[in-house]
Amino acid sequence: MLWGGRFKKELHPRALKYSSSLSIDIELILEDIEGSKAHAQMLAKIKIISQAEEKELLEGLTQVENDWNDGKWKPDPEKFEDIHSAIESRLFELIGETAGKLHTGRSRNDQIAVDLKLWVRKKTETLQELIKNLQLTLVEISSENLETIIPGYTHLQRAQPVSLAFHFMAYVEMLERDLLRLQFLKNSLNQSPLGSGALAGSTLPLDRDFTSSKLGFESPSQNAMDSISDRDFVLDMLNTCVIGMMHLSRLSEELILWSTKEWNFIKFNDEVSTGSSLMPQKKNPDLAELIRGRTGRVYGNYISFASVMKGLPLSYNRDMQEDKEPLFSSAKIYSESLETMKLILCNINIYKNRFNNELSTDSVLATDLADWLVLQGIPFRDAHEVVGNIVKTLEEEGKNFMDLNIDVLKKFSPFFNDEALKYLELTSSLQRKKTKGSPNPKFVKEQIEYWRKKLRH
């Protein structure tokens, strides 16, 4: 134990088992060694330890790291409270009493805080790369589907025709916001808590600027109490995972719907599908369903830790040990889901002409027809009512937009002429869009080129 001096008896085995976090925070082993090396170098710089002792500590920490990486050493959760005590014990085995000097001027409180910040910083970079890879996959699929017309929906009711490229590029924009959230998080990690001690700094002349620089931070933190009690960055990471998984879940849901017999728009390849143990004909989109399902776990992780933090007085409380399990879980689920979504998208077949005939008979061009009346000088509310009456009448008569001709149109408004019939042509509907950000293939293609350049830079 790192704190046993004032106690007469050792911690009860059941209490140790309940309080030990080693099985979880062993994830921080490399970050803990990194922080410890910087601390040892700083102690030598301010002459608290000798250069020989510094060398011993650094070599010992490197040996611990190598033994871990090579599988020669695995700490026992029944013997240690956490990864910090396990590393220190191993260091004592390797180099003897000098190991006891490593904790000089350091508390587990600032040790934990710096480990977590280092871990989250690395994870943000990993997630950013995975998001960019998924964005690029969507961009490339979009480039092949500029003219693949699909129904756009509001309220899950057919609204207006769009292209699959336009639809997928919406997810590229969503993912970019996920990237921005991660960048904000990364920027917020620029102050080092190392040297804050338990909550009030140290009477030793610790060089916090030195350790801050060594560990890649911009500066030391400005308030030791805040440094120790701060877990905002953990909540920011959990929230980033929540929103990111929500985006992946929405895409999963659409892919699942599109793969049904009712939609019949895409087909999952065998590599990303499973079957039924009972029904021989089944081909199920299980990977997309798992992404959708695991989103709930990520939501729960955020609520779980936010609830832990809401009533804690400053500074450190053992409740905060509960930060790691939801953090590691959410980051793992999110990173694996990003990789899996890319795999799914690279293994689907798209039926590009699926909706062409069907939408030609649908009323999805009703807004286009109303817009044409507006161009003739009709107030939009009047144009809206005229076209609404057309749709209602066609439904009552069991007809569709393909049955419209100029004689029929003039029954609803004298302003109609032959030019209006062009606004009922599905193949040219996307090209008629005038506004940037619309599914006009010209604008979508410009966006594709923009994102290609940006993501490959």
The H or E element that residue 266 is part of is strand 266-268
Instruction: State residue 12's pLDDT score.
Output: 82
Q: What is the mean pLDDT of residues 110-114?
A: 97
Q: Is residue 2's pLDDT more than 80?
A: no
Beta bridge partners, 162, equal 150
How far apart, in whole angstroms, are the C-alpha atoms of residue 33 and residue 39?
10
* DSSP letter assigned to residue 11: P
Q: What is the mean pLDDT of residues 304-322?
A: 96
Confidence of residue 296 (pLDDT cuts 50, 70, 90): very high
How far apart, in whole angstroms, are the C-alpha atoms of residue 289 and residue 390?
41
395, 387 contact by CB (below 8 A): no
How far apart, in whole angstroms, are the C-alpha atoms of residue 26 and residue 31?
10
Confidence of residue 79 (pLDDT cuts 50, 70, 90): confident
105, 194 contact by CB (below 8 A): no
User: What domains lie within the chain, and their CATH numbers?
Assistant: 11-104 (1.10.275.10), 109-147+163-204+222-353 (1.20.200.10), 357-456 (1.10.40.30)
Q: Is residue 7's pLDDT more than 90?
A: no
Q: What is the mean pLDDT of residues 71-91?
A: 93
Instruction: State residue 332's pLDDT score.
Output: 98
Q: What is the mean pLDDT of residues 258-283?
A: 94
The H or E element that residue 42 is part of is helix 29-45
Which residue in the block uniquely carries the two structure tokens 């350790």? 211
Q: What is the pLDDT of residues 403-455, one digit of tens each?
A: 999 999 999 999 999 999 999 999 899 999 999 999 999 999 999 999 999 99
Helical pair 380-396 and 366-375, crossing angle rounded to 10 deg:
140
Tokens describing residue 333: 């689920």
Confidence of residue 4 (pLDDT cuts 50, 70, 90): low
Instruction: State residue 5's pLDDT score.
Output: 65
Q: Is residue 328's pLDDT more than 60?
A: yes
Instruction: State residue 18's pLDDT score.
Output: 82
Note the Cα 126 to chain centre separation in Å: 11
Give the number of other CB atoms < 10 A from CB of residue 41. Answer: 17
Q: What is the pLDDT of residues 159-187, one digit of tens each?
A: 999 999 999 999 999 999 999 999 999 99
Tokens describing residue 347: 């293994």
How far apart, in whole angstroms, are the C-alpha atoms of residue 78 and residue 331?
27
Instruction: State residue 6's pLDDT score.
Output: 65
Active site residues: 155, 276
245, 337 contact by CB (below 8 A): yes
Tokens describing residue 88: 């220190």
Confidence of residue 156 (pLDDT cuts 50, 70, 90): very high
How far apart, in whole angstroms, are the C-alpha atoms of residue 332 and residue 21?
18
How far apart, in whole angstroms, are the C-alpha atoms of residue 49 and residue 57?
10
Instruction: State residue 17's pLDDT score.
Output: 81
What Cα–Cα distance (Å) separates residue 260 from each residue in 13, 49, 264, 267, 283?
Answer: 55, 68, 6, 8, 10
Instruction: State residue 20's pLDDT score.
Output: 85
Confidence of residue 14 (pLDDT cuts 50, 70, 90): confident
What is the average pLDDT score of the chain?
A: 95
Q: Is residue 3's pLDDT more than 70?
A: no
